[in-house]
Amino acid sequence: MNAIFHLNGKVIETERLILRPFVNSDLDDFYEYAKVEGVGEMAGWHHHESIEKSQEILNRFILEDKTFAIVYKQNNKVIGSLGVEMYGMEEALTEFCNYYGREIGYVLAKDYWGKGIMPEAVKAVIDYLFNELNLDFLTCGYYDFNTQSKRVQEKCGFKPYRKLVMETRLGTKEPGVLNLLTNPEKQIKLKFSHPETLIYAE
């Protein structure tokens, strides 16, 4: 099942990054990367065509309190986001019903791609969720075309779990993969409810 999760002011520091809740003054940095074509599209949403759109999403980030702003220490800019989302298909994925988990989602400003920044952020959040909040499992997905995101998930230890066709916020359906990571400190014995779509089980 989905674990209850709120940032509650949590701040995580890594070598190059600060992860912290979004605040209203992040609007300009957020719009700067969200307006770039080909960034959001890889995550299934349209690039922002106005700052008002970014404001609307920023308001949601602040209200829902589950998305970290990724701040690059070197210039103190917000260069991306990392959401601790509800995983979908809770009803269908009955094998998760005795375990607590969430889904990780992320986006990084294009100028910062290829420096290992997102793996650094994701690993720090995994550490927090498993070792401080004691979650049992995490999911993370990518569309088949998104080899960049696939690599991030591989680097962070996620393993392929199911093939999926996912609906995007662009109104399209994209084939992809749902990855799974279980808390290595725990004895997680998952019982698979849809073995026909199972790719890999630990």
Ligand X SMILES: CC(C)(COP(=O)(O)OP(=O)(O)OC[C@H]1O[C@@H](n2cnc3c(N)ncnc32)[C@H](O)[C@@H]1OP(=O)(O)O)[C@@H](O)C(=O)NCCC(=O)NCCS
Cβ atoms < 10 Å from Cβ of 171: 8
**Two tokens, residue 107:** 């986006």
We find the least distance from the C-beta atom of residue 155 to ligand X, in angstroms, to be 6
Q: From CA 87, how far away is CA 104, in angstroms rounded?
A: 8
Residue list 58-87, contact with ligand X (CB under 6 A)? none
Report the residue number whose CB is nearest to ligand X.
114
List the interface residues with ligand X, window 136-165 (CB under 6 A).
142, 146, 148-149, 151-152, 155
Going from the C-alpha of 108 to that of each of 29, 30, 51, 173, the distances in angstroms are 12, 10, 18, 23
CB 30 within 8 A of CB 49: no
Nearer to ligand X, 118 or 129 (CB): 118
Whether 156 and 106 have beta carbons less than 8 Å apart is answered as no
Binding mask 20-59 for ligand X (x = CB under 6 A): -------------------x--xx----------------
Distance in Å, CB of 74 to ligand X, minimum: 15
**Residue 119 is a binding residue for ligand X (CB under 6 A):** yes
Measured between alpha carbons, how far is 175 from 166 in angstroms, rounded to an integer?
A: 6
Q: Contact positions toward ligand X, by CB under 6 A?
A: 39, 42-43, 106-108, 113-119, 142, 146, 148-149, 151-152, 155
